[in-house]
Amino acid sequence: MDKLAKIIGLVFLALALAGASAWLSSSLAAQSPLNQPSVSPPPSPVNLTKTSPSSELPDLVDLPSLANLAERIKPAVVNIFASKTVSNVKGPVEIERDGPPLPPDGFMDDYSERPRSPESPNPKSRPKRENSPPAKERVQGSGFVIDPEGFIITNDHVVEGAGDITVKFVDGREVIAQTVGRDPKTDLALLRLTESGPYPFITLGDSSQTQIGDWVLAIGNPFGLEHTVTKGIVSAQGRVIGASQYDDFIQTDASINPGNSGGPLLNLKGEVVGVNAMIFAGGEGIGFSIPSSLVKKIVARLKAHGYVERGFIGAVVQPLTSELATIFGLPNRDGALVADVVSGAPANKAGVKAGDVIVEFNGKPIKGIDDLTALASDAPIGEVAKVALVRDQKRLTLDLTMGRLDEPVPDTGPSVYRGLLDLGLTLREITPAVAEKLEGVTSGLLVEGIQEVSPAKLAGVEVRDIILEVDRRPVKTLEEYNAALRAHRHEDPVVLWLKRGDIASYLFIPLD
């Protein structure tokens, strides 16, 4: 046994010595420079706050808070409630709710990908009720004040057909508003608050300076959630979505929902660059705003006349395709191809012919039919426009005297806003269309309605009287009428010079 134990001990000792030898060999090999593995050195730290010619990384900065901007703008953004009577609808007889109106049954049931107004909710939620009498609806939208006197911009579809219009401010104050003018073609409307100001307001900026990628804010009242602020960027410009022939929308991903219609789209300076008007059914983050460059033009005309007069050339035009450009010998697709000319219209009188390609209008290039439509619409009626065209590969310039596009004047309800003095009159400007119905009258303001208890009623003013002067100041437009009332001294009676039938007379209206 002792001999066996000695043998086992010697075996273990040999194994231990072998292991120690192997460990020593490996350690020495690891320390030898000839046996070092090829290892790349660790990368140098990257400085993200500096750039070099080989690394143009931008500075990393935090986005600024928009809280101060939102607080500054919100007092001028309003909630608009418009009471409407809707005929032949299916639903409860009396509808009194804060929210958008329900559209007719079957309206975009499939939510196909077409632009729609944010005031068009899911029609499938409509309660079914047959043969109901006309329903009264209280439609909700947004708007914003543009000057201290209380003029408000909103969408036409918010106030179209409205009876009473109530405006609510962020502090809870409610004021009655009246429609100054509407333009369904561009979906814009101008309102005027009936109480005297001054009011908080925001200004219209220059949308032509806006770039794709610029940050924007949308403020409105989606689903009745008053003065909701959302942010996004300008996604695209000059969008033509088939809403009208005057499409020129700003596309944004700032959240726009039912109730936002008529609210402002603002840049980071707090300037209005668009009026929120449409959303894309079935889409997300796709909204459309009317650019402020167009809004300024329309609002100026609504303020002056209550409606928008547009120029007319009387030519039917179509886009140039690549094939048509080749056939007509043109180098590119720029221009508007004249397909037909209306007999006796300005284009016909100027010598424009079918087959002509209009390439310039008053010195401005025509890339397509939308350019021509916009420029002709803005051209002053009666003035001579320079129209450059290509005929048989030769360039010609014609003088074209602008005509007036005959469109129905939208009904604004009460035709004159009530300013600091409310005489109780509803007036309408005497346009050529109105003058045709009046014998021997070409200017002035037609009295269409009188409040039963009002200074004008007590003084003896009658419906169909023609007001020619206010305080010895001639008035031919609603703006001139209101300017005369704003300049009136409150302690004096208002002096009207009016015509009734063939007889003109002066009338004193005490304000006691």
Helix H, strand E, coil C: the string for 187-220 is: CEEEEEECCCCCCCCCCECCHHHCCCCCEEEEEE
Q: Provide the residue type at 460 as one letter.
A: G
Location of each CATH 2.30.42.10 domain in the chain: 311-404, 425-509
Domain 425-509 is found in CATH 2.30.42.10: yes
Distances (CA, A) of 413 to 161, 162, 251, 426: 8, 8, 32, 9
| pLDDT band (50, 70, 90) for residue 121 | very low
> Is 109 in the active site?
no
Check 183, 187, 356, 465 and give the catalytic one. 187
> Is 261 in the active site?
yes
Check 117, 120, 235, 261 and give the catalytic one. 261
Does 96 have pLDDT greater than 80?
Answer: no
pLDDT of residue 49: 44
The encoded tokens of residue 196 equal 């005297």
Architecture of the structural domain at 73-308: Beta Barrel (2.40)
> What does the alpha-carbon distance between residue 162 and residue 139 come to, in Å, rounded to a whole number?
9
CA-nearest of 476, 480, 474 to 495 is 474
> What does the alpha-carbon distance between residue 229 and residue 249 come to, in Å, rounded to a whole number?
21
**Mean pLDDT for all residues in the chain:** 78
Phi first, then psi: give them for residue 10, nearest 5 degrees: -65, -40
Location of each CATH 2.40.10.120 domain in the chain: 73-308
Which region among 27-36, 259-268, 419-428 has the lowest average model confidence (pLDDT)? 27-36
Phi first, then psi: give them for residue 65, nearest 5 degrees: -70, 140
Check 117, 120, 142, 157 and give the catalytic one. 157
| pLDDT band (50, 70, 90) for residue 416 | very low
> What does the alpha-carbon distance between residue 430 and residue 427 come to, in Å, rounded to a whole number?
9
Phi first, then psi: give them for residue 135, nearest 5 degrees: -105, 145
Q: Which residues of 99-120 are buried (b: 16+ CB within 10 A; e: fewer)?
A: bbbbbeeeeeeeeeeebbbbbb
| pLDDT band (50, 70, 90) for residue 370 | confident
pLDDT of residue 87: 52
| pLDDT band (50, 70, 90) for residue 454 | confident
> Is 187 in the active site?
yes
Residue with more model confidence, 230 or 483:
230
103, 123 in Cβ contact below 8 A? yes
pLDDT of residue 412: 53
The strand pair at 264-266 and 215-220 is best described as antiparallel
pLDDT tens-place string over residues 7-43: 555 545 454 445 545 444 444 444 443 344 444 444 4
The encoded tokens of residue 361 equal 């209008």
pLDDT tens-place string over residues 459-474: 899 998 999 999 888 9
Percent of the chain with pLDDT over 70: 73
163, 110 in Cβ contact below 8 A? no
326, 293 in Cβ contact below 8 A? no
Task: Look up the CATH number of domain 311-404.
Answer: 2.30.42.10
